[in-house]
């Protein structure tokens, strides 16, 4: 690269870093500010006084209705929902993805499309029928506001995604490997378990992480189906802090930092799996 090109590249990288880091800086410093400093004028670009109070508030004074009470319920519900969704989608998605990659099933293109489409569907289109089914037809089951209901709804749009990614991964693994194992006397299921599954570990990781991120991130479904404090998950907890009369930006920012830690760790440690997972399905979607 000549000097001029290097200058522009350096400028571009610097701008990209500022654009990325400035909002993150604001979120983190806001979470460390006192309430007075959070809306002081002029704005404290560098906090004069750093406090951990906003974080401690989520772990102290646990009593019904307190911030920490709602936080712990939200954390527990969020983890239960996201991890259950991962287990269900990963298990069934892997099996279905393998079948679609290996067998020449009549109408498999249509099946692929159905699975992909179930992920791409607007969530709002499923919310209304689900709501009616839950409060009217299945009212005796008392599903409204439960973790089970949210898990089922998360599965509705993550399962198809899991099938789609896993099919792409299995198609990239030569079928001859499984055939060789079958000739050596393994069953087909054994060939899947012992040959292809270990080779598809990156795909399994990618699927698990993407499904986790999708479930952890959703806002519309808890907004409609889990509006009471014991049913909150992390997204709705953060929304509830941002109330109409309370503008405690420092508290909201602290909760935001905590809710961002699991997905940020995932992305930093496994980012490459996620990217390859998303592109795996591009073998003629």
Partner 1 sequence: MEGIPTQSTRRAPSRFFRFFTGDRGLALALLLPSLLLVAALVLVPLIYTLILSFQSATVNVIGGRGQLVGHWVGLRNYIHLLTNSYFLSGLRATLYFFAASILIELTIGILMAHLLNLEFRGRTLVRALVFIPWAIPTIVNATLWGMIFNGNAYGALNGLLPRLGLGNGHTVWLDTTPVWPHVPLLGPFFQWIGMSRGMNALIIGDEWKTLPIVAFLVLAGLQTIPKDYYEAATIDGATPWQRFRYITLPLLGPILSIVLILRTMQLVRAFTIFYTLEATNIPVLSISAYQQAFSFGYFGRGSAVAFIIGLISLFFAWIYIRWLYREEVA
Judged by CB, which is closer to partner 1: 48, or 63?
Answer: 48
Residue 116 CB, shortest distance to partner 1, in Å, is: 9
Stretch 110-169 residues interacting with partner 1 (CB under 8 A): 111, 114-115, 118, 120-133, 135-136, 139, 142, 144-145, 152-153, 155-157, 159-160, 163, 168-169
State the Cα–Cα distance between residues 152 and 15, nearest whole angstrom.
42
Residue 82 CB, shortest distance to partner 1, in Å, is: 11
Stretch 55-74 residues interacting with partner 1 (CB under 8 A): none
Torsion of CA 15, 16, 19, 20, to 10 degrees: -150
Residue 221 CB, shortest distance to partner 1, in Å, is: 10
Residues 6+ apart with CB under 8 A from 56: none
Omega of the bond leading into 42 within 30 degrees of 0 (cis): yes
The piece of 25-33, 49-57, 60-68, 69-77 that touches partner 1 (CB under 8 A) is: 25-33
Residue 94 CB, shortest distance to partner 1, in Å, is: 9
Residues 6+ apart with CB under 8 A from 197: 94, 204
Contact 284, 100 (CB under 8 A): no
How many whole angstroms from its chain centre is CA 90?
Answer: 13
How many whole angstroms from its chain centre is CA 124?
Answer: 18
Which residue, chain included where needed, has tokens 């992390």? 234
Residue 63 CB, shortest distance to partner 1, in Å, is: 25
Q: Is 281 in the site for partner 1 (CB under 8 A)?
A: yes
Stretch 239-258 residues interacting with partner 1 (CB under 8 A): 239, 242, 249, 252-253, 256
Q: Is 109 in the site for partner 1 (CB under 8 A)?
A: no
């Amino acid at each position: 690269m000549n000097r001029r090109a290097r200058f522009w590249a350096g400028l571009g990288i610097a701008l990209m870093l500022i654009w990325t880091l400035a909002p993150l800086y604001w979120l983190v410093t806001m979470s460390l500010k006192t309430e007075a400093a959070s809306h002081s004028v002029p704005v404290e670009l560098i906090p004069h006084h750093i406090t951990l109070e906003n974080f401690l508030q989520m772990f102290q004074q646990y009593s019904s209705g307190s911030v920490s009470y709602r936080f712990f319920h939200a954390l527990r519900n969020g983890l239960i929902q996201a991890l259950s969704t991962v287990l269900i989608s990963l298990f069934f998605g892997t099996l279905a993805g393998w079948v679609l990659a290996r067998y020449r099933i009549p109408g498999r293109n249509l099946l692929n499309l159905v699975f992909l489409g179930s992920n791409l569907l607007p969530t709002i289109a499923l919310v209304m029928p689900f709501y009616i089914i839950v409060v009217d037809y299945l009212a005796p089951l008392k599903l409204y506001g439960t973790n089970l209901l949210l898990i089922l709804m998360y599965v509705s749009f993550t399962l198809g995604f899991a099938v789609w990614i896993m099919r792409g991964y299995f198609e990239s693994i030569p079928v001859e490997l499984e055939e060789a194992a079958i000739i050596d006397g393994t069953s087909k299921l054994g060939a899947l378990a012992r040959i292809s599954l270990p080779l598809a570990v990156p795909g399994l990781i990618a699927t698990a992480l993407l499904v986790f991120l999708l479930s952890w991130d959703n806002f519309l479904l808890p907004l409609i189906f889990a509006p009471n404090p014991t049913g909150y998950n992390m997204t709705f907890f953060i929304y509830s802090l941002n109330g109409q009369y309370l503008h405690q930006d420092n508290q909201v920012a602290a909760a935001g930092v905590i809710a961002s830690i699991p997905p940020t760790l995932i992305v930093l440690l496994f980012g490459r799996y996620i990217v390859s997972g998303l592109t795996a399905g591009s073998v003629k979607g």
